[in-house]
Amino acid sequence: MPLFRPSVSLLQSVLATCLCLLPGFAAAQAAADFPQRPMRMVVPYPPGGSTDIVGRIVAARLGESLGQQMIVENRAGAGGNVGTDVVAKAPADGHTLLMSSVTTLAIGASLYSKLPYDVSRDLEPVALVGSVPFVLLVNAALPVKSVRDLTALAREKPGSLNFGSAGTGTSAHFASELFKSLAAIDIVHVPYKGNAPAIADLIGGQIQMMFDFLPSAMPHIRSGKVRALAISPVKRSAALPEVPTIAESGVPAYDMLSYFGVLAPAKTPARVVARLNAEINRISQLPEVRESYARQGIDPAQETPDRFRAYLQTEIGKWARVVKETGARVD
């Protein structure tokens, strides 16, 4: 007769301990219990810009569907690098997410000589939310009605027109530099700390033109405070069907889109990433969300994490070539 007979509870405890030592078990268990506490969506730009607008739409719905509070945290600075680095260094458990755009996800990799993170190594693609065109805006008092008028004025008075952006190295900055190069005009860049102050100075006449994401520009276009001359992709936007593209306005080679995506810290459990991807894709199909996106000119997207990762790699390569061709560099 055995001297010791282990109890059922003891056996269960030993088995649980052994299972926890198995590779991947702890991550799987964490995924099964996800989310365990309030979450945060880091937007690496100031409030009021397009990334912030889209981030708040997604965050509100995602918090509801996951049954946890979702806090939107604006961590602006260094063209989006500050907030991106916060997420790259956060615990890889899915409770901290990044809502970002082409600026930090693709352009920054080649534009900055040194970054504290590597998008491909330190971030896990979760979901591509959608794409959005840029719109070329001018101050309402500027005596131009078209892209041709604008380029004619710039050639008549080289160096006299200022264009604003949300900051050096941002996608809006590059949209302007590409326009400047293809249109062969001399205009001066005035960088701001975010989109909102740039728009404010455009309305006030301190700068004469700028490229902005269509969602954040729409209220100002509708109010008549700024004039929309053209949009950036080769196809007109259903949100502004009367506004021509830049390509059909005399700069035929111009074509540029931005996009918004959600990422998590690298090594976030695959089950967590898959659940977040499914929820975000479901949210993008909700009638009220699609209607909100349509009003703002956002084209919703639905991609798997793997396809989003492949897309980002293509984008990083594309913008590396553009950065090299323009000679742009930020130290």
The verdict on 198 and 84 lying in the same domain is no
Answer yes or no: is 236 within a domain.
Answer: yes
CB count in 10 Å sphere of residue 181: 15
Closest CA to 98 of 119, 112, 115: 119
The verdict on 152 and 253 lying in the same domain is yes
The verdict on 247 and 268 lying in the same domain is no
| Total structural domains within the chain | 2
Answer yes or no: is 6 within a domain.
Answer: no
Rounded to the nearest integer, the mean pLDDT of the chain is 89
Domain that holds residue 251: 133-257
34-38, 62-66, 321-325: which range is least confident on average?
A: 321-325
In single-letter form, the type of residue at position 199 comes to I
Answer yes or no: is 288 within a domain.
Answer: yes
Do residues 215 and 53 lie in contact, with contact meaning Cβ atoms separated by under 8 Å? yes
The verdict on 271 and 251 lying in the same domain is no
The verdict on 228 and 139 lying in the same domain is yes
2-11, 188-197, 316-325: which range is least confident on average?
A: 2-11
The whole-number pLDDT of residue 2 equals 46
Answer yes or no: is 31 within a domain.
Answer: no
The verdict on 215 and 274 lying in the same domain is no
Please report, for residues 62, 134, 195, 266, 293, the alpha-carbon distance to residue 215 in angstroms, rounded to integers and kept in the order given. 20, 9, 12, 30, 8
Answer yes or no: is 141 within a domain.
Answer: yes
Whether residue 4 is predicted with pLDDT greater than 50 in this model: the reply is no
The verdict on 244 and 267 lying in the same domain is no
Summarize pLDDT for 25-42 with one digit per residue, the tens.
Answer: 544 555 568 999 999 999
